[in-house]
């Protein structure tokens, strides 16, 4: 069972808004709101007053348009040829990152212009920026809502690249027609006033992932994943558990098998490294994570019986905690969550 606290997501958005004094704070709800449900999340944030939303792809925008009437709903991945009519009919805002995209959208409405200042993925590169700076004509038929860029290392406050990107973005704004700017992502909001802009674009922090690694997490926990114990069995010392016998009991042990596996998004890299919690106490994950089942050593927890629930994500085991054990980040932990969980939405 996956419990999503919409009230906590709204509280996180309000906290981010309080930290970003320069301008409004958008909500990035791509990847199904980081695995938690884009429609209920969008509706909750819209009801709280959010009027700027970002998704990655056109289909994601179409799926939530009715939840955020009148709000700016922008698509980060660029304008694919042939999709222009969808943007017009549904009042969507394309994020344009090339001269070709600018030409295709000219005269069709408002857009966000993306400048690459160091990510080297999407956005106008130095050559295209220089061409536009010399001749603004291609932009004449464009209503630029924002000029944006994307920070590479905002979660590392001391990274020299942060200042380089900020300065490069400021220089690009001077060379292009006047337009509001959008700079800070989740961690960028916590880099201070120098990284403020007309619109911040947090994503992960809304969903409880720590935007200030190495410091206490200022965000509220928004998710609780509980999985049911299907069976508990006693195994003798020397007995192996799971595929490929990667774990062997060093003592007489009790092994709980839970209804959870990599088909549900529990990363296989957690094999013999992860954990769950029972009544707030950690329980080691033993053996391989398999497709549908995962095993835990509950020898020291006699209260665990078939039918009990184990916490896999939640107040005792955050996405960031799981990420450390899995060798990844909290983003992957959340966006990997599968479709088989019964989802419960609540507001606190």
57 is catalytic: no
CA–CA separation, 218 vs 14, rounded Å?
A: 12
Q: Which of 57, 207, 215, 243 is catalytic?
A: 243
**H or E segment at 160?**
helix 160-175
Catalytic residue among 30, 46, 331, 345: 30
Question: Does residue 243 carry a catalytic annotation?
Answer: yes
Q: How many CA atoms lie within 13 A of 205 on its CB side?
A: 30
Q: How far is CA 215 from CA 157, 190, 202, 223, 305, in A?
A: 11, 11, 18, 20, 37
In DSSP notation, 270-309 reads GTTT-EEEETTEEEEEES---SSEEEEE-TT-TT--TT-E
Residue 236, classed as helix, strand or coil, is coil
List all residues 6 or more positions away from 235 whose beta carbon is below 8 Å from its beta carbon: 241, 249, 252, 253, 254, 255
User: 38-48 vs 6-19: helix axis angle to the nearest 10?
Assistant: 50
- Paired sense of beta strands 143-148 and 181-182, if any: parallel
Contact between 255 and 284 (Cβ < 8 Å): no
Q: Rounded to the nearest 5°, which phi and psi values hold at 77?
A: -80, 0
Count Cβ atoms below 10 Å from residue 124 Cβ, excluding itself: 26
Read off the tokens for 342: 């019964």
Cross-sheet strand order for the sheet of 93-96 = 27-28, 52-55, 72-75, 93-96, 110-114, 143-148, 181-182
Query: Among all residues, which ones are annotated catalytic?
Result: 30, 243
């Amino acid at each position: 069972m996956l419990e999503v606290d919409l009230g906590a997501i709204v509280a996180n958005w309000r906290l981010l808004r309080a930290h970003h004094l320069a301008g409004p704070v958008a909500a990035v709800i791509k990847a199904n709101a980081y695995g938690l449900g884009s429609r209920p999340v969008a509706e909750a944030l819209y009801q709280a007053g959010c009027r700027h939303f970002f998704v990655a792809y056109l289909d994601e925008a179409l799926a939530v348009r009715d939840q955020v009437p009148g709000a700016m709903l922008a698509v980060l991945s660029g304008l694919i040829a042939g999709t222009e009519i969808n943007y017009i009919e549904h009042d969507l805002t394309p994020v344009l990152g090339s001269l070709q995209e600018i030409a295709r959208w000219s005269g069709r409405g408002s857009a966000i212009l993306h400048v690459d200042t160091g990510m080297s993925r999407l956005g106008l590169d130095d050559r295209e920026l220089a061409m536009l700076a010399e001749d603004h004509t291609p932009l004449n038929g464009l209503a630029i809502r924002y000029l944006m860029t994307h920070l590479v290392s905002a979660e590392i406050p001391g990274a020299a690249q942060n200042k380089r990107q900020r300065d490069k973005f400021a220089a690009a704004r001077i060379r292009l027609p006047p337009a509001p700017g959008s700079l800070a992502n989740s961690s960028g909001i916590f880099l201070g006033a120098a990284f403020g802009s007309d619109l911040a674009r947090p994503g992960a922090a809304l969903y409880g992932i720590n935007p200030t690694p190495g410091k206490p997490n200022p965000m509220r926990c928004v998710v609780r994943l509980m999985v049911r114990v299907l069976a508990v069995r006693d195994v003798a010392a020397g007995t192996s558990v799971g595929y490929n016998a990667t774990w062997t009991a060093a003592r007489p042990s009790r092994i709980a098998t839970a209804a959870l596996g990599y088909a549900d998004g529990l990363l296989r890299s957690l094999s013999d490294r992860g954990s769950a919690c029972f009544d707030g106490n950690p329980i080691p994950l033993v053996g391989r994570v398999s497709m549908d089942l995962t095993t835990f050593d509950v020898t020291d927890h006699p209260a665990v019986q078939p039918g009990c629930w184990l916490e896999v994500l939640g107040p005792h085991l955050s996405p960031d905690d799981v990420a450390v054990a899995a060798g990844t980040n909290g983003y992957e932990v959340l966006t990997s969550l599968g479709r088989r969980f019964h989802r419960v939405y609540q507001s606190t």
